[in-house]
Structure 1
């Protein structure tokens, strides 16, 4: 059984993000003890398939010895150094070079942080810095999308389009705007095609920029495929149409690849999968396969030139983090990128994604499921109360959360996100484990449907 001392110590001492704190005092934690491959084992000895890669991040599973060895080697040589004021380390230099080599569009420089939130927060600051250098400091409004997720810092949460990240935090900050979530199943009109839906959303963005004043709008943030918003795939023509609007109004496009980068969608970058050509790219999570905290912001040449001009004018580039370009984290990232390439990990995602999608897609016929969507190893299952009207369940009933808990009881970690369930296993998952994901999730769906009396 779970050690009462661990349970009580956790409740007494630790806060848990994205958790009902009052409920946690009653239920306590599930304490995880060890991991092997794509499986995680708790202190009761029960083993689960980690079907969410932790938080979309453990792309190489939980026991990749090469990453541990890379960290150990670097710790033995130089466990830390900062990169402020003309200092650098070899792992950071190497990682920056590699990221520029594999970037989906030409990029000029890389700036390192420790988390996706920090990377997106930094991108906002550089957007403002860029337009200040151009003599247009009033061009500073930032547009995100409803249900988009970009982090939980004050600024990154302001781009995020999820109400529970705003409520009673006095967010979003002024000058942060949001447009319609590009989820055709939920937001499309009955008489629209996907292409028409994309056109409507592009027109909405155009109208917003014009209403706000193009001289005041600086940037648009978008995940190539939306993660925490429910594993939402962009509709046909969406990014092509959106990018035309942004270019017309000289609005920068920042691609948030924190979840989609490094193989999740079947390519190195989600931008390659969905035809996105950004001015900046943020990435984290699978950059180190989550073995060390690290994020990177890739910056285009025009933005770098603005930064250079401003630092000359002011005398210094006034930004940075203590652990940016941490040599141990960079060493782990360098090894992770080698593994992705040398072991054919990313090249193998297409076949694994086809297998997982082939098993999950027929669940659209299940009485609880309205839509199954995804690509690569990133899938969302929309839970509905009425398949005809597409109406979700009353949120107070927490039906997706009940499906999540039923799957957990079956030995599968998945995640309820709004009215959807997300499944995004490590890229190293085996075919037999993919079969087990489907079996356990299907069993959980049937269990909840039976409890609701609709199976």
Structure 2
């Protein structure tokens, strides 16, 4: 790694602050603090404009699975740019990478999910799922089946429809969402279940809630249920054992399509190329994916459909009618080439096996932090983990939001050379899949020091 030369980082910082509208910006501080400029990277580390080196504990944003700075990835991208950087895939044109990647995804996906529609990311993959689901039921003559059910604290993207499906209420503040089409049921968070309630009863209660919601809305009006195998941005919520299987059975009972949002969980984060069947025992009707599909090297998302859905939507709806859904960059050949190379690297280096091995160690080491006074829960699986901080471990009461405990811990970690993601009172970890035991040990030691420093501050300021 080397710091870029002949670049004024102060000038870059100023240009960014003055002109770049960032996603999820905290405008109460941004105009004063601006952004940390990242200038270089290698494997699991990134380097800022001042040359400071950090272990990236969040994998960019759940996505840099094969690690940074892969030369063979750069070569694959450059080679495709030289061959054919772009051509429209509308109608009856295609490119070699788009076709080959679609076949590879069909091979990797569970069951008979054999048909791939490309977009530019997870939000678009979920929007595409909604449009295709509505089109599918229209083709079947069931034109009233339109409503979507998802879960409180589920995250499905930030386009208008994907954010409407998202159940993280904080993300809706000040924005409009579609409230007639989309309905939410409770989050299946075992940590927050009522005292004394068994996991089995809690699970059955949440499953019954879905059935009750379908009956309330009317089965003839409910088209699909959207769920992440493990909730990501809503706090890394792992549902109780058997939850997804029971939910799928309810969907089948009422002719509701099950969409598994694997934007985060696919391509190794849980130790499998896809987690729906391998980790949770279900074969959904649709899988949406992105992020780890290219390890973040280029934007790409995919909506993967079952044979049954494709059979219906691939028939002309009327004389002269065509399937009028798609984007300029659907099946972009350079992005698809990156996806193919990414999967090749993962398979050759057996990264899923490594995640199952190192992920178990990561989980165990993170749980050693439960002895700290504010760490109420450590949850997740493999390389998708969350620390939830509380004021009282017995009551699970939260620390005053004004304390910004997640941000404090993240700031202390960053000062010590580790980037973690703050989510309100929580901290999320989703590192590159190439992590070693030494990297994990550094992360745990840094988190411990940072949480201890945060506890001292909270006590001195009267928050604890």
Same-fold status (TM-score > 0.5): yes
Q: Which runs of 5+ in 2 are unaligned?
A: none
Q: Which residue of 2 aligns with 1:236?
A: 241
In the alignment, the residues of structure 1 paired with residue 9 and residue 76 of structure 2 have an alpha-carbon distance, to the nearest angstrom, of 33
Q: Which residue of 2 aligns with 1:446?
A: 452
The farther-off stretch of 240-249 and 318-327 is 240-249
In the alignment, the residues of structure 2 paired with residue 401 and residue 23 of structure 1 have an alpha-carbon distance, to the nearest angstrom, of 12
Q: Which residue of 2 aligns with 1:207?
A: 212
In the alignment, the residues of structure 1 paired with residue 66 and residue 363 of structure 2 have an alpha-carbon distance, to the nearest angstrom, of 20
* Number of residue pairs aligned between Structure 1 and Structure 2: 454
Cα RMSD of the aligned pairs, angstroms, is 1.5
Is the 1:224–1:276 contact (alpha carbons within 8 Å) kept by the matching residues of 2? Answer: no
Give the SS at the match of 2:352: coil
Give the SS at the match of 1:111: strand
2:119 is aligned, of 95, 113, 116, to 113
Q: Which residue of 2 aligns with 1:220?
A: 225
Is the 1:155–1:173 contact (alpha carbons within 8 Å) kept by the matching residues of 2? Answer: no
Deviations 1:141-186 (A, max 9, x none): 0011111100000000000011232222221342100011111102
1:17-416 equivalent positions in 2, closer than 5 A? 17-186=23-192, 188-271=193-276, 272-311=278-317, 315-416=321-422
Runs of 4+, deviation exceeding 6 Å: none
Give the SS at the match of 2:200: helix
Residue 303 of structure 1: how far off its partner (Å): 1.1
Give the SS at the match of 1:421: strand
Is the 2:245–2:280 contact (alpha carbons within 8 Å) kept by the matching residues of 1? Answer: no
Residue 232 of structure 1: how far off its partner (Å): 1.2
Give the SS at the match of 2:89: coil
In the alignment, the residues of structure 2 paired with residue 386 and residue 313 of structure 1 have an alpha-carbon distance, to the nearest angstrom, of 66
In the alignment, the residues of structure 2 paired with residue 159 and residue 268 of structure 1 have an alpha-carbon distance, to the nearest angstrom, of 25
Is the 2:98–2:332 contact (alpha carbons within 8 Å) kept by the matching residues of 1? Answer: yes
Is the 1:143–1:178 contact (alpha carbons within 8 Å) kept by the matching residues of 2? Answer: yes
Residue 79 of structure 1: how far off its partner (Å): 0.8
Deviations 1:328-351 (A, max 9, x none): 111111011111111111111011
Is the 1:202–1:241 contact (alpha carbons within 8 Å) kept by the matching residues of 2? Answer: yes
1:407-426 equivalent positions in 2, closer than 5 A? 407-426=413-432
Give the SS at the match of 1:266: coil
Residue 374 of structure 1: how far off its partner (Å): 1.6
Residue 429 of structure 1: how far off its partner (Å): 1.3
Q: Which residue of 2 aligns with 1:4?
A: 10
Q: Which runs of 5+ in 1 are unaligned?
A: none
In the alignment, the residues of structure 1 paired with residue 257 and residue 456 of structure 2 have an alpha-carbon distance, to the nearest angstrom, of 49
Give the SS at the match of 1:298: strand
The farther-off stretch of 397-406 and 112-121 is 397-406
Is the 2:405–2:424 contact (alpha carbons within 8 Å) kept by the matching residues of 1? Answer: no
The farther-off stretch of 433-442 and 167-176 is 167-176
Q: Which residue of 2 aligns with 1:16?
A: 22
In the alignment, the residues of structure 2 paired with residue 404 and residue 422 of structure 1 have an alpha-carbon distance, to the nearest angstrom, of 10
Is the 2:404–2:424 contact (alpha carbons within 8 Å) kept by the matching residues of 1? Answer: no
Residue 405 of structure 1: how far off its partner (Å): 1.3
Residue 396 of structure 1: how far off its partner (Å): 2.6
Deviations 1:109-139 (A, max 9, x none): 1111111000000000011011111111111
Give the SS at the match of 1:333: helix
Residue 21 of structure 1: how far off its partner (Å): 2.2
In the alignment, the residues of structure 1 paired with residue 319 and residue 456 of structure 2 have an alpha-carbon distance, to the nearest angstrom, of 68
In the alignment, the residues of structure 2 paired with residue 89 and residue 230 of structure 1 have an alpha-carbon distance, to the nearest angstrom, of 39
